[in-house]
Amino acid sequence: MNTYTAVKNRILQLLEEKKMSIHKLAMESAVAPSSIKNILYGKSQNPGIVTIKMLCDGFGITITEFFDTEEFASLEQEIQ
């Protein structure tokens, strides 16, 4: 698994956990719905840390909580 897939999966997991729609997350985070969709559907495979932080704010979690999962802990180095 790569970092992009881990980020996408984490956003989807949090949407489900928090029972939020993309529209609701967009309203809470001030990130455009199209930007969120671009991340989730693969058009934007390198979301910036500021965008991820804004999404965390929308979810009501810290950026540390976002990345504190087994999926991120087990990622292999991207550059070989």
Q: Which two tokens stand for residue 4?
A: 């992009």
Give residue 77's pLDDT: 82
- For residue 40, give Cα distances in angstroms to 6, 8, 21, 45: 11, 6, 12, 9
Give residue 57's pLDDT: 98
Question: Within a domain: residue 80?
Answer: no
Give residue 50's pLDDT: 97
Please say whether the beta carbons of 9 and 71 come within 8 A: yes
Give residue 1's pLDDT: 84
What residue type is assigned to position 65 of the chain? E
How many distinct structural domains can be found in the chain?
1
Question: Within a domain: residue 79?
Answer: no
Question: Within a domain: residue 38?
Answer: yes
Residue with tokens 């790569």: 2
Q: What is the CATH number of the domain that holds 45?
A: 1.10.260.40
Question: Within a domain: residue 65?
Answer: yes
Question: Within a domain: residue 78?
Answer: no
Give residue 25's pLDDT: 98
Per run of 10 residues, the mean pLDDT along the chain (length 80 residues) is 94 98 98 97 94 98 97 85
Of the candidates 57, 71, 72, 67, the one whose C-alpha atom is nearest the C-alpha of residue 18 is 57
